[in-house]
Homo-oligomer: A and B are copies of this chain.
Amino acid sequence: MGTYTVSNAQNLRICVVMVGLPARGKSFISQKIVRYLSWLSFKAKSFNVGGYRRKGAPRPSADFFDYSNAEAYKIREQAVKEAVEDMMKWFEEEEGCVAILDATNSTRVRRNWILKLCRENCIEPMFLESWCDDEDVVLRNIADVKNSSPDYEGVDSEAATSDFLERINKYKEVYQPLQDDIDKDLTFVRLINVAQQVVINRIETYLESRIVFYVMNLHIKPRYIWLSRHGESIYNIEKKIGGDSSLSPRGLKYAAKLKEMVKESAGDRDLTVWTSTLIRTQETAQYLPYKQLQWKALDELDAGVCDGMTYEEIEEKYPEDFKARDEDKYEYRYRGGESYRDVVIRLEPIIMELERQENILIITHQAVLRCIYAYFMNVPQEESPWMSIPLHTLIRLEPRAYGTKVKKIKADIPAVSTYKERGTSQVGETYDEKRKSLHILNSTSD
């Protein structure tokens, strides 16, 4: 493609080799990187060696991880070999760009073996160590692991914790952290106590530097992110897209109600409101008693020459464009305007800043909200432009170690539907909410 800020123009192949004891957030970081890169259209995949190991040893006790246990060691060797083989295949057959080898990779011998394999296959290895001696963080991670790992399914909680601590001790016996002197020729990043300190060595490519900047900005404090479209606008009623119109009377009602809804959802938490620079988002935010910030990057997808038209007018005036957009809505760029891909690129700093921040309420527009939602919920590109995100609905995201919890709160204030199905220029009337909201409803977990 080569058209975008973040493009893999050089056909780079990067293997992020995770390093760290168990319960250091390696899988969390791996999954975040994959989600971030995928959202930016880089082909990325995490290879979790634990998953491969479970085939040979589904629920091993701590003894299994003793390095003197020869039989177990063989099974573990086999697991890492299979993971690396699959990774190489993925690079070759699926033109992968960034693979994450999610394992402890505790010893220098193991890391040198991976290094050699990478070099033989024209893959840039980047070691990413998560090092942590903050007991609170480790214990929180242990709680996450024992609740989510298949290794401890159905095991009594206390027993699981104690076994897991023992397992960590087995690893500690052989663990060799990355070292400035011995490893000085490697490309590596050390995250110390959740990025309180970060050591970065020999980062050379743009993509590596982006990954580093991203992981530097991650935090694990509990928080909420609320998303809402602006209230119903005059243009919404007139079925026009784009523009900069004011809210309809029903839209204004939503603005008033939003204050209560947010108050109820947020409780005493402080939060900051982010809006776009367009009137309808600012009118929607007008009653909210929180700090507000406007971002040009949150403005609606620019429809270029079609701005201010109805879909029917677009179909009549630009029938080929209309068809092309239906065929590939993610890539289609309005004449003189933007594509969903363009919007994702300009949202990247917003996502980066969202990762850094704590409680944020974003009031923005349909296409922009789809892109932000797709990032947090890992929605594939083909689907995200077709997601239904109805008006007058507050969405609350709760980022967790493994995925994002989402809650949808309806305002119970009627609004037109602005959802346009593929292959029609009709909006709203033909709209089957149950089916179209599937994506959101499915992921609602409380």
A residues with CB within 8 A of B? 2-5, 7, 9, 180, 184, 196-203, 206, 209, 213, 216-217, 242-244, 277, 291-297, 302, 307, 333, 335-336, 338, 342, 345-346, 348-350, 353, 356
Whether B197 lies near A199 (C-beta < 8 A) is: yes
Given contacts A2-B293, A296-B3, A307-B336, contact A197 B202 (CB under 8 A): yes
Task: Evaluate contact between A216 and B200: CB separation under 8 angstroms.
Answer: yes
Please report the C-alpha to C-alpha distance between residue A196 and residue B199 in the assembled complex, in whole angstroms.
Answer: 11
B contact residues around A203 at 8 Å (CB): 198, 216
Q: Among B209, B295, B333, which residue has its beta carbon within 8 angstroms of that of A216?
A: B209
Residues of B within 8 A of A180 (CB): 197
Q: Which residues of B contact A197 (CB under 8 A)?
A: 180, 184, 199-202
Q: B295 to A3, Cβ gap below 8 A? A: yes
Shortest A42–chain B CB gap in Å is 15
Known pairs A4-B295, A213-B213 / 18 extra A-B pairs, C-beta < 8 Å: A2-B292, A2-B294, A5-B295, A5-B296, A5-B349, A5-B350, A5-B353, A7-B293, A180-B197, A196-B202, A197-B199, A198-B198, A198-B201, A200-B216, A206-B356, A209-B356, A277-B333, A307-B336
Q: B residues within 8 A CB of A7?
A: 293
Q: How far is the CA of A336 from the CA of B5 in the complex (A)?
A: 23
CB A424 to nearest CB in B, in angstroms, measures 27
Among B200, B206, B295, B342, which residue has its beta carbon within 8 angstroms of that of A198?
B200
**For A342, what are the chain B residues with a Cβ–Cβ distance below 8 Å?**
296
B244 & A336 in contact (Cβ 8 Å cutoff): yes
Which partner residue on chain B sits nearest A341 by CB separation?
Answer: B296
Minimum C-beta distance from A178 to chain B (A): 12
Pull 14 A–B residue pairs with CB atoms less than 8 Å apart, ordered by A. A2-B292, A2-B293, A2-B294, A4-B295, A5-B296, A5-B349, A5-B353, A197-B201, A200-B200, A200-B216, A244-B335, A296-B338, A296-B342, A296-B345
Contacting pair A293 B9 (CB below 8 A): yes
Q: Give the docked Cα–Cα distance between A2 and B274 (Å).
A: 10
Cβ contacts under 8 Å, A5 to chain B: 295-297, 349-350, 353
Question: Residues of B contacting A291 with CB < 8 Å?
Answer: 9
Decide yes or no: A4 and B296 within 8 Å by CB, A209-B356, A217-B209, A336-B307 being known contacts. yes
A336 to B206 CA separation, bound complex (whole angstroms): 33
Contacts of A201 in B (CB 8 A): 196-198
**Whole-angstrom CA separation of A293 from B292 in the bound complex:** 37
Closest to A339 in B: B296
Pick the most buried of A202, A213, A353: most chain B CB atoms within 10 A of its CB: A213
Nearest residue (CB) in B for A213 is: B213
Among residues of B, the one whose C-beta sits closest to the C-beta of A305 is B307
Across-interface contacts of A335 in B (CB, < 8 A): 244
Closest CB in chain B relative to A376 CB, distance in Å: 19
User: CA–CA, A184 to B192, complex, Å?
Assistant: 12
Closest 8 CB pairs of A and B: A198-B200, A3-B294, A197-B201, A5-B349, A199-B199, A213-B213, A2-B293, A296-B342
